[in-house]
Chain A
Amino acid sequence: MENFLWIIPAAPLAAFIVTILFGRTYLKQNSHWLGIIGVGISWVLSIVTFTQVFSLEKGQALNNRLFTWMDTGRYDFDALQFNVGINLRADHLTAMMLLVVTTVGLLVHIYSTGYMHGEAGYYRFFSYLPLFVFSMLMLVLADNYLLLFVFWEAVGMCSYFLIGYYFRRDSANNAAMKAFWTNRVGDVGFGLGTMLVWTTFGTFQYTEVFRLLEEKTGTGEVGKGLITAICLLLFCGAVGKSAQFPLHVWLPDAMEGPTPVSALIHAATMVTAGIYLVARSYPLYDLSPTARTVVACVGIFTAFMAATIGLVQRDIKRVLAYSTVSQLGFMCFALGVGAYIPALFHLMTHAFFKGLMFLGSGSVIHGMHEEQDLFKMGGLRKHMPITAYTFLIGAIAIAGVPPLAGFWSKDEIIASTWRAGYPWITVIAIFTAGLTAFYMFRLYFLAFEGKERFDHEHVHPHESPPAMTWPLIILAVPSLVIGALVGLPPDEGKIHEFLGKAVSMDALEAFPKLSEETTYIFFAISTAVALAGIGLAYLMYIRKAPNPVTIGERFHALWAFLWHKWYFDELYNAVFVQGTKALGNGLWIVDVKVVDGFVNGLAQTVNRGSGRLRRVQTGFVANYALAITLGAVLIVGIYLLTRGNIIDQLFG
């Protein structure tokens, strides 16, 4: 029954292989078909998987074992065995991820046929996209940490391809490399984490690891320190992939990629892999309050920092990018307080409404002839109504106004944080939620409402073709209703019932449940803060009272600080980039002058000693024959010599 799982990733993989090999010469502007069909198959099978998983009990999963990837052998003298299989496993968590990835993936494929229409690298785009979907599906289907790591790197590679899609543009290439390199910084920790998992448990398999975890903590063989170390190392990877401080710097630059890519990879799916990783490892994190505190602090700091940067950016995609970083921060601190399911709930709702808004921004950019500056837009609602209204739905959803999707998931996170006894995080989170509502509506008002600030002679905004608007409309539906549909009542909704069969929240549930009044108070506060943010944005960007320009001038230092993104890029460039370059150059000089100088000197001594040797290097075979003969004589000579007791002389 469950042996079909392999087809889910295999279908887009097949699409990739055929498209990359035959796209440029044969498929050309038809290159999208295989990708759409492949991802379509995955989508259908994901639904099948979902329905099958639905009836499973807690702890059960569909398994599809494929083949042994690596096996270093079994030895009498070694207690540990290294044997890693390419095995797929779909439990409730995976089933949810599959649905999110394939749904957004399919819509982005369809959307891209419009957005990328006529591009020279059309086939390339539609090869990388299914390759990404394949990697992402494998990432969530993997049944062990090493395989997860493999596809973790693979999605990073696809991200590199797609950010650098416009390879003639230097900024795109640099952004692509920056993304890959920054992620690899996190992967140093993640890689070591997988190793520590294996040396501790002798396996990479999730179920085995968690079973042994219980066993070995019971006997005291595995202590708190070790678990904390594993958690923190794994989290390094999550910090990179999910763009958390201090490795968040790559994600805003990743907007150099085509907008559908930003929607799929850099908003809805790949960047949530870090959240998935931590949630997947919940039994480990549950046992390490230290690690969870770190996760929570990183998360809340990122959420706040990114939101403040988002307040002042002018580029429509950059605002969305910082918003993504900020929302990932929300998920991250939710994980940190032990609220794994609310984090995953927010992951899902965010995938829909942020995917929607990114695709919407793509539609705007498309209609505005590649213009991305918000201050050169305005009043676009009249020209592109579908884009505007669907975008508005997304904006309300992320702002956290009931009953749209974002409200339910975000509110659950905030309430759980309070419940877990982190009042200061709760306060910052609520404030950040207000900032979110503000900058999102700043974006909406600047782009779609108010005066038209674009150059009417050259720019004629128009609504996008149906291939692009339909995905917007489809994504608007879950953005509207999914929160209320699966999130009600709070903490006991269908999403909890479903994911609860794969993820437990023992650490959080050790705290007393919030009373009904408290829940309602949080409802009220969240709604009020969201409305306040929207209201302030309205006053500033529609009424111009208070005027944002005057405020910016009055608090110029603060504005510059935010505009320059807290100066992280400048700092990293000065310290790491220049530092590494200097180190490399310095070592090269050392290599040529010192190391080579020394051995060259040695060689020259030998050279002088054997005078004629240099002249041997003339390329005459006869000379070499002579050398061989001499060598042979030497062997025999030494042999004769050593019949005496050279050993005694040498080592006496």
Chain B
Amino acid sequence: MTNFPLLSVLLYLPAVVALAMLFVPNMSAQTVKYLALGTAIVCFVLSLIVVFSATNSAALQWEENINWLPDIGLRYHLGTDGLSTLFILLTTLSSIIAIVASWDSITTNIKAYYVTFLLLMTGMLGVFTTFDLVLFYVFWELVLIPMALIIGVWGSANRVYSAIKFFLFTLAGSLLMLVGIVVLYTEYFNRTGTRTTDLLLIAKESPNFSMTLQLWTFASFFIAFAIKVPMFPVHTWLPDAHGDAPTPGSVILAAVLLKMGGYGMIRFNLTMFPQAAREFAGPVLTLSVIAIVYGALVAMVQPDMKKLVAYSSVTHMGFVTLGIFSFNPQGFQGAAMQMFSHGLVTGGLFLCVGVLYERAHTRQISAFGGIATWMPNYAGVFMVFMLASLGLPGLSGFIGEYLSTLAAFRLDNKLYASITMFVVIFAAVYMMWMYKRVIFGEPREEHKNFPDLTPVELSTLVPLILATLFVGIYPTPLMHLLTPVINVLLAPIVGGGGIASLP
């Protein structure tokens, strides 16, 4: 069975369906929707196979390693380990939810939209399964374009500006990464006489590269990923992109695209440059803590719900980089859990904002008040995501935040963790304050006709709540997925120095 190219099937199924949609004329909107949903569900089932076939070893599962362009050493190298598996699951799950969320909210250019979305799926899944640098780069760029289109075509008021901004920011980063790839390729060839862009092969050799080169190539990859995460100070595309993206676009952007940054750091930066990673740890940790505090404070004063949630993403993703660059098992687990949880919770929050936007066509906090009276189910659902977002234990947000902070606390410099910990206050402030102004208070007549959650809306939100609860109460299976990966990754970084001796 392991010879079955499961990953390729998973990867190209959406793209093939998308092409089919393009070439079959006169397809009804309904058919397009069901076809897209069906594809996403099949992908989800395939991803479950990946999850349940995961083993305790760090070796790649479902590996496909084909000599693609032998002349230049390009290989078609796919595979999964615990880390990939986690994100494949997150991607397919979020895709289903985003498609259902698009059902009634996307009303123009329906066919083009679902074609774009399915291509996006292929890109995202490719990013998380590729072990060849060039192939990775292709998928990385493949994600960029459909996402920019979704924002630019199906977005709200300022969509073109936001789409360009998103596009340029990411492009700037990925060009740097491209330079890095080329440098690595050349250096590897110079040293070994073999041409390859295979991640695992390069990672074996890269610790022997000169330190200067390691640092520069580390930086070239890192900046690309940092923009995607996004880290302070390159986060400013995010509030705009979220502010103007359609709801399903925001869901995917938050749930999956930001994770590509954190995933990339672990998969590429740390795998190839463990030494350089140690060198960069200090500044990265500092920027993480700044992002955490800064994002929370700025989120607090946002008048627009979606931008508030966007800035809260900056905070939450700060925990990811904090965890990764603390270089201990808790940090890695924390970062991974935080990314997974952020996908569920922020996805849920964007859906919640979308629900109100559908009804009121505004996202200004001041336009609402007393919604709980008219939409009690909605108030309850929103409450769960609100609490998960502010890191209430028992829901998923707590796991990642606590573990990442604990990881930082293990460093000699306790300042990182101590400052970070204060965010538990600010997170509660911005979320609860927003919630109160929108949901609580005297009911207003103008909202009287707002229907409570529709079955379609419930079908997007309830699975996310269940997943949030599951990760919050029983994250152990997910953590066990990651254990072998961490074992392989951390050993060279920790080296002989032991964990506490890091920056």
Binding site for B on A (CB under 8 A): 20, 24, 67-80, 82, 149-151, 153-154, 157, 160, 164, 167-168, 170, 173, 177, 180-181, 184-185, 187-188, 191-192, 195-196, 198-199, 580-581, 583-585, 587-588, 591-592, 595-596, 598-600, 603, 606-607, 613-614, 617, 619, 621, 624, 627-628, 631, 634-635, 638-639, 642-643, 645-647, 650-651
A163 CB to closest chain B CB, in angstroms? 12
Chain B contributes a number of interface residues (CB within 8 A of A) equal to 94
Q: Are B178 and A638 in contact (CB under 8 A)?
A: yes
Q: Are A646 and B186 in contact (CB under 8 A)?
A: yes
Closest-by-CB residue of B relative to A189 is B421
Closest-by-CB residue of A relative to B302 is A588
B39 CB to closest chain A CB, in angstroms? 20
Q: Are A167 and B424 in contact (CB under 8 A)?
A: no
Q: Are A70 and B479 in contact (CB under 8 A)?
A: yes
Q: Which residues of B contact A651 (CB under 8 A)?
A: 210, 212-213, 216
Q: Which residues of B contact A195 (CB under 8 A)?
A: 405-406, 409, 417
Q: Are A82 and B330 in contact (CB under 8 A)?
A: yes
Q: Are A149 and B475 in contact (CB under 8 A)?
A: no
Q: Are A585 and B409 in contact (CB under 8 A)?
A: no
Closest-by-CB residue of B relative to A627 is B145
Binding site for A on B (CB under 8 A): 72, 112, 134, 137, 141, 145, 148-149, 152-153, 160, 163-165, 167-169, 172, 178-179, 182-183, 185-187, 190, 210, 212-213, 216, 232-236, 294, 297-298, 300-302, 328-330, 333, 370, 372-373, 376, 380, 387, 392-394, 398-399, 402-403, 405-406, 409-410, 417-418, 421-422, 424-426, 428-429, 432-433, 436, 439-443, 473-476, 479-480, 482-483, 486-487, 490-491, 494, 498-499
The 8 closest A-B pairs by CB, nearest first: A73-B483, A596-B236, A150-B393, A584-B301, A584-B300, A167-B440, A195-B409, A72-B333
Q: Are B182 and A73 in contact (CB under 8 A)?
A: no
CB contact under 8 A between A188 and B443, given known A195-B409, A583-B297, A587-B298: no
Q: Are A71 and B476 in contact (CB under 8 A)?
A: yes
Among B234, B422, B476, point to the contact of A70 (Cβ < 8 A).
B476
Closest-by-CB residue of B relative to A646 is B186
Q: Are A154 and B479 in contact (CB under 8 A)?
A: no
Known: A77-B499, A595-B232, A646-B186. 15 other contacts (CB 8 A): A69-B473, A70-B479, A77-B490, A82-B330, A153-B392, A153-B398, A168-B370, A168-B441, A168-B442, A581-B300, A599-B233, A606-B168, A627-B145, A638-B182, A642-B182
User: Within the assembled complex, what's the spacing in Å between the Cα atoms of A74 and B484?
Assistant: 10
Q: Are A69 and B476 in contact (CB under 8 A)?
A: yes
User: Within the assembled complex, what's the spacing in Å between the Cα atoms of A170 and B475?
Assistant: 37
A122 CB to closest chain B CB, in angstroms? 13
Closest-by-CB residue of A relative to B307 is A588
Q: Which residues of B contact A592 (CB under 8 A)?
A: 236
User: Within the assembled complex, what's the spacing in Å between the Cα atoms of A580 and B421?
Assistant: 16
Q: Are B476 and A617 in contact (CB under 8 A)?
A: no
Closest-by-CB residue of B relative to A636 is B72
The 19 listed contacts between A and B (C-beta, < 8 Å) are A69-B476, A73-B487, A76-B487, A149-B393, A151-B393, A164-B440, A168-B443, A185-B425, A191-B402, A195-B406, A584-B297, A584-B300, A587-B298, A591-B298, A607-B168, A621-B149, A642-B182, A643-B186, A650-B183
Q: Are B376 and A24 in contact (CB under 8 A)?
A: yes
Interface of A is mostly: helix
Closest-by-CB residue of A relative to B145 is A624
CB contact under 8 A between A587 and B297, given known A69-B476, A75-B487: yes
Q: Are B432 and A603 in contact (CB under 8 A)?
A: no
B338 CB to closest chain A CB, in angstroms? 13
Among A24, A185, A598, A603, point to the contact of B165 (Cβ < 8 A).
A603
Closest-by-CB residue of B relative to A161 is B383
Q: Which residues of A contact B168 (CB under 8 A)?
A: 603, 606-607, 613
Q: Are B479 and A198 in contact (CB under 8 A)?
A: no
CB contact under 8 A between A71 and B440, given known A627-B145, A646-B183: no
Closest-by-CB residue of A relative to B410 is A199
Q: Which residues of B contact A634 (CB under 8 A)?
A: 178
Closest-by-CB residue of B relative to A597 is B236
User: Within the assembled complex, what's the spacing in Å between the Cα atoms of A284 and B189?
Assistant: 60
A31 CB to closest chain B CB, in angstroms? 14
From B137, B399, B425, B487, residue with most partner A Cβ within 10 Å: B425
CB contact under 8 A between A82 and B329, given known A191-B421, A603-B165, A638-B182: yes
User: Within the assembled complex, what's the spacing in Å between the Cα atoms of A144 and B368?
Assistant: 43
Q: Are B393 and A153 in contact (CB under 8 A)?
A: yes
User: Within the assembled complex, what's the spacing in Å between the Cα atoms of A95 and B383?
Assistant: 34
Q: Which residues of B contact A585 (CB under 8 A)?
A: 301
B60 CB to closest chain A CB, in angstroms? 19
User: Within the assembled complex, what's the spacing in Å between the Cα atoms of A621 and B178?
Assistant: 24
Q: Are A72 and B479 in contact (CB under 8 A)?
A: yes
User: Within the assembled complex, what's the spacing in Å between the Cα atoms of A75 and B409?
Assistant: 19
Closest-by-CB residue of A relative to B414 is A192
User: Within the assembled complex, what's the spacing in Å between the Cα atoms of A192 and B328?
Assistant: 17
Q: Which residues of A contact B232 (CB under 8 A)?
A: 595
B363 CB to closest chain A CB, in angstroms? 17
User: Within the assembled complex, what's the spacing in Å between the Cα atoms of A199 and B486?
Assistant: 20
CB contact under 8 A between A177 and B163, given known A73-B486, A170-B441, A628-B141: no
Among B163, B372, B405, B494, point to the contact of A167 (Cβ < 8 A).
B372
Q: Which residues of B contact A185 (CB under 8 A)?
A: 425
Closest-by-CB residue of B relative to A652 is B212
Q: Which residues of A contact B443 (CB under 8 A)?
A: 168
Q: Are B482 and A73 in contact (CB under 8 A)?
A: yes
Q: Which residues of A contact B403 (CB under 8 A)?
A: 70, 72, 82
Closest-by-CB residue of A relative to B496 is A77
Q: Are A73 and B480 in contact (CB under 8 A)?
A: yes
Closest-by-CB residue of B relative to A191 is B421
Q: Are A77 and B141 in contact (CB under 8 A)?
A: no
User: Within the assembled complex, what's the spacing in Å between the Cα atoms of A74 and B480?
Assistant: 10
Q: Which residues of A contact B294 (CB under 8 A)?
A: 587, 591
From A642, A643, A647, residue with most partner B Cβ within 10 Å: A647
User: Within the assembled complex, what's the spacing in Å between the Cα atoms of A489 and B137?
Assistant: 79
Q: Which residues of B contact A77 (CB under 8 A)?
A: 490-491, 494, 498-499
Among B72, B372, B483, point to the contact of A639 (Cβ < 8 A).
B72
Q: Are A72 and B329 in contact (CB under 8 A)?
A: yes
User: Within the assembled complex, what's the spacing in Å between the Cα atoms of A613 and B167?
Assistant: 10
Q: Which residues of A contact B172 (CB under 8 A)?
A: 603, 606
User: Within the assembled complex, what's the spacing in Å between the Cα atoms of A643 and B187?
Assistant: 10
Q: Which residues of A contact B300 (CB under 8 A)?
A: 580-581, 584
User: Within the assembled complex, what's the spacing in Å between the Cα atoms of A184 and B432?
Assistant: 13
Closest-by-CB residue of B relative to A150 is B393
User: Within the assembled complex, what's the spacing in Å between the Cα atoms of A185 and B425?
Assistant: 6
Closest-by-CB residue of A relative to B433 is A177
User: Within the assembled complex, what's the spacing in Å between the Cα atoms of A650 and B298?
Assistant: 39
Q: Are A150 and B394 in contact (CB under 8 A)?
A: yes
User: Within the assembled complex, what's the spacing in Å between the Cα atoms of A389 and B487?
Assistant: 68
Q: Which residues of A contact B399 (CB under 8 A)?
A: 70
Q: Are B298 and A192 in contact (CB under 8 A)?
A: no
CB contact under 8 A between A192 and B190, given known A177-B436, A181-B428, A617-B163: no
User: Within the assembled complex, what's the spacing in Å between the Cα atoms of A639 and B398?
Assistant: 46
B109 CB to closest chain A CB, in angstroms? 9
Q: Are B441 and A188 in contact (CB under 8 A)?
A: no
User: Within the assembled complex, what's the spacing in Å between the Cα atoms of A78 and B479?
Assistant: 16
Q: Which residues of B contact A167 (CB under 8 A)?
A: 372, 439-441
